[in-house]
Amino acid sequence: LSGTPVLFADLRHYHENLKIYDLVNSGQHAPWFSKRSKSFRTNWKEVTLYPAESFYFRGGGASVHFYAAPAKEVTYARLTRKLGQFRMHMFTGSWVDYSFKKNEELGAMTNYTWPHVWAKFDISPETLAANFSSNHIHAVIGNYIPELKASCEALGIEPIVLS
């Protein structure tokens, strides 16, 4: 729908004092999210490759590490099933960025070697906990709620808009 990469991440940690979620994933984030440039060189300048953590990757490899560029508008969604029926929860939010020192401090609280997105949700933590039944989430830059709703309706999937 967007023509850009889609984020896949773990809802790893909520920093209550900052009202942000740390979205990370061992399967990585596209380096495009580091700067969202059309130039791969610009994006990769922000990326550091670290040896993969053996707990997650016994065969080795590398993890891309960076802090995602801020975004004023983001759509979050996840397809799940309830009683055998597909449904898609969706809501909006944004991404924030901090100083390098603050990013490093926050990144060290979870999986430092993985990429991090500092995410704000336009819903409360209570609404998320009561309605969102997954530890994984997808995100795309921009507001795609209308397009996701239309896609869900065309496919017979229940759209659940939380924001």
Helix (H) or strand (E) holding 121: strand 117-121
Domain that holds residue 131: 7-161
Q: Is the pLDDT of residue 52 over 90?
A: no
| Per-residue pLDDT at 128 | 96
R_g of the chain, CA atoms, integer Å: 16
Q: Is the pLDDT of residue 28 over 90?
A: no
pLDDT band at 121 (very low <50, low <70, confident <90, very high): very high
- CATH code, domain with 104: 3.20.14.10
Contact between residue 93 and residue 132 where contact means Cβ atoms under 8 Å apart: no
The answer to the question of residue 132 being in a domain is: yes
pLDDT tens digits for range 62-116: 999 999 999 999 999 999 999 999 999 999 999 999 999 999 999 999 999 999 9
pLDDT tens digits for range 8-17: 999 999 999 9
The answer to the question of residue 1 being in a domain is: no
Number of structural domains the chain divides into: 1
The answer to the question of residue 20 being in a domain is: yes
The answer to the question of residue 41 being in a domain is: yes
pTM of full prediction above 0.75: yes
The answer to the question of residue 65 being in a domain is: yes
pLDDT band at 59 (very low <50, low <70, confident <90, very high): confident
| Per-residue pLDDT at 127 | 97
Q: What is the DSSP string of 17-63?
A: TTTEEEEE-TT---GGGGT--S-HHHHHTT-EEEEPPTTT-TT--EE
The answer to the question of residue 2 being in a domain is: no
Q: What is the mean pLDDT of residues 128-156?
A: 96
